Amino acid sequence: MDNLGIIDAVVAVVGVIVGIVVGRLIFSKDTKKRIEDAESQAQTIIKDAELRAETIKKEKQLEAKEKFVQLKAEHDKEVLERNKKVGEIENRIKQKENTINQKEANLDKQLKENLVIKENLNRQIEVVNQKRTELEKHQEEHIRRLEKISNLSSEEAKEQLIESLKSEAKTQALSLQQEIIEDAKQKANKEARKIIIQSIQRTAAEQTIENTVTVFNLESDEIKGQIIGREGRNIRAIEAATGVDLIVDDTPEAVVLSSFDPLRREVARLSLQRLVADGRIHPARIEEVVEKTRRQLEEQVMEIGERTIIELGIHGLHKELVRIVGKMRFRSSYGQNLLMHSRETANLCGIMAAELGMNPKLAKRAGLLHDIGKVPDEETELSHALLGAKLAEKYGENPAVVNAIGAHHDEMEMLYVISPIVQACDAISGARPGARREIMQQYIQRIKDLETLAQSYTGVEKAYAIQAGRELRVIVEADKVTDDESGKLSFEIAQKIQTEMTYPGQIKVTVIREKRAVNVAR
């Protein structure tokens, strides 16, 4: 039995060894075949690649030749055009030389004629001097005769005559001064109206639509529960991350985002849109989405700023100023979008400067940047005009642009001609119908301030602000204020309003003086 077991074991071992050898032979044959197939495919791919490379090379050579022929034709055309222009310039120069020679001949002729005229004038001057001497003698004799007749010395007569002439001249001068002032006002107002009307007519503007709330529409009311979250944790996380109040009420399929900062409202709106689309709404996800949205909005702000300056044709603006211009898109002033207002002011400035023969590009630049102080990165006590001038100076703007920004609310002295243009265009953009909304209380307070200011003057009986505060009518007491003082009072009130009050557009001050005599027949 032991021998049989040993034999079986040996047979089994031999079988395993034989199986392993056979398997290896089969595997080596299969591997060799695969290697041969792979080499064959590699050779095929290499040949295809070589053929394709040769084809591409020939195509590129043909394209290069065609491009060379085209460039050569364009170069020949430019050379012909330049030669033609040079010939035209030479012809113009020859014509100018002929004209100059002709003018020289005419000048020589006029010079000879002037010499003859000068000699004649000298003769006439001698005759006039002789006549003047004779006239002075006659005048002295006449004065002596008059002194004998009037029993007055010449000095006394002169004093009386001078006094009478002074009073008469003073009256005539006042009348003439008034006529000159009125004529100048009419001409200046007419020309100013013409330029302003042309500028306004050539500018397209929109109506104010800015609000302090944004309505976020939902597909269904079920999403409101996800936005609120368990025990309100999601809505608290959104408000904390964005700084915006979320109002979730009974309004169907809508959530109201409330904030006075449009940039925050936009961040909240875009973040909510992404959260609702994703479906995963929880505090950690909310913070991540809000931060990502804020970064993307910063990029969008730069794009808006760059697109704005390209559309207006403004070049070389500092990147930080471009970013500030983009931020204006998310700010409003009395409901008027700040970027739209600045673009409108820039276009008006460019048109008005062109009409006046000035640099329209510089005026456009000042008009676009005049309100950059309204979108500061940090809180400051400076007014927006002075802060804007400081920012413009910091980022290397032209001194004329800096002065126009700081002086458009009369907080700096106007040193350049474009400064009053920017001030006028800013007022036009803000005061036009439909441009801005004002809170009713502010409007009523401004009307009261106008009337109170007028009534503070001596002799004023009543004051009425009419035409929505565009005109102030002041009624004075005839016994205390003369006609001449009425004009002076109107000027003083207008100046005080201009220096002490802030208002859109302009205010017309009309002083009315009326003398009434009333009796009763019984």
| Residue at 86: amino acid letter | V
Could you tell me which residue, 239 or 407, shows the higher pLDDT?
407
Pairing of strands 460-466, 332-333: unpaired
The residue written with tokens 């950690």 in the block is: 284
Report pLDDT digits (tens) over 294-324: 888 888 888 888 888 888 888 888 888 888 8
- Residue 480 above 70 pLDDT? yes
**How many CB atoms within 10 Å of residue 382?**
13
| Nearest alpha carbon to residue 334 among 509, 507, 502 | 502
Residue 207: per-residue pLDDT: 42
Residue 102: per-residue pLDDT: 87
CA distance 1 to 7: 10
Could you tell me which residue, 212 or 288, shows the higher pLDDT?
288
Mean pLDDT across the stretch 143-166?
Answer: 69
CB 373 within 8 A of CB 411: no
Question: What is the 3 state secondary structure string of 244-260?
Answer: CEEECCCCCCEEEEECC
Worst-scoring range by mean pLDDT, 32-41, 195-204, 237-246, 418-427? 195-204
CB 216 within 8 A of CB 273: yes
Report pLDDT digits (tens) over 317-338: 888 888 888 888 877 766 677 8
Beta bridge partners of 508: 471
Mean pLDDT across the stretch 46-71?
Answer: 86
Residue 150: per-residue pLDDT: 61
Residue 260: per-residue pLDDT: 66
Residue 436: per-residue pLDDT: 55
Residue 208: per-residue pLDDT: 40
- Residue 433 above 60 pLDDT? no
Burial class (CB in 10 A: 0-12, 13-18, 19+), 372: buried
Could you tell me which residue, 496 or 174, shows the higher pLDDT?
496
Q: What is the DSSP string of 3-41?
A: HHHHHHHHHHHHHHHHHHHHHHHHHHHHHHHHHHHHHHH
User: If you average pLDDT over every residue of the chain, what do you get?
Assistant: 79
Worst-scoring range by mean pLDDT, 69-73, 377-381, 498-502? 377-381
Could you tell me which residue, 373 or 225, shows the higher pLDDT?
373
Report pLDDT digits (tens) over 445-464: 788 888 889 889 988 988 88
| Nearest alpha carbon to residue 271 among 308, 310, 242 | 242
Longest CA span, the chain: 191
Tell me the CB-side half-sphere exposure of residue 472, using CA atoms within 13 A: 28
What's the fold here for domain 440-513? Answer: GMP Synthetase; Chain A, domain 3 (3.30.300)
CA distance 404 to 412: 9
CA distance 265 to 329: 13
What's the fold here for domain 213-302? Answer: Ribosomal Protein S8; Chain: A, domain 1 (3.30.1370)
- Residue 209 above 50 pLDDT? no
In the DSSP assignment, the letter for residue 1 is -
- Give the pLDDT band of residue 212 (cuts 50, 70, 90): very low
Mean pLDDT across the stretch 157-177?
Answer: 73
- Residue 210 above 50 pLDDT? no
Residue 184: per-residue pLDDT: 67
**How many CB atoms within 10 Å of residue 440?**
8
Burial class (CB in 10 A: 0-12, 13-18, 19+), 389: buried
- Residue 214 above 70 pLDDT? no
Worst-scoring range by mean pLDDT, 135-139, 340-344, 362-366? 135-139
Report pLDDT digits (tens) over 81-92: 888 888 888 888
- Give the pLDDT band of residue 403 (cuts 50, 70, 90): very high
CA distance 420 to 414: 7
- Residue 220 above 60 pLDDT? yes
Burial class (CB in 10 A: 0-12, 13-18, 19+), 385: buried
CB 348 within 8 A of CB 429: yes
CA distance 505 to 494: 13
> What does the domain layout of the chain look like in residue ranges?
1-150, 213-302, 440-513
Pairing of strands 213-217, 460-466: unpaired
Worst-scoring range by mean pLDDT, 178-187, 341-350, 409-418? 178-187
Report pLDDT digits (tens) over 485-501: 888 899 999 888 888 88
- Residue 390 above 80 pLDDT? yes
Worst-scoring range by mean pLDDT, 64-68, 153-157, 330-334, 466-470? 153-157
CA distance 337 to 293: 22
Sign of CA dihedral 151, 157, 163, 165: positive
| Most confident of the following: 247-261, 398-412, 497-511 | 398-412
Mean pLDDT across the stretch 20-46?
Answer: 79
- Residue 215 above 60 pLDDT? yes
Q: Name the percent of the chain lying above pLDDT 70.
A: 82
In the DSSP assignment, the letter for residue 330 is G
Could you tell me which residue, 437 or 292, shows the higher pLDDT?
292
| Residue at 149: amino acid letter | I
Mean pLDDT across the stretch 334-352?
Answer: 84
- Residue 143 above 60 pLDDT? yes
- Residue 109 above 50 pLDDT? yes
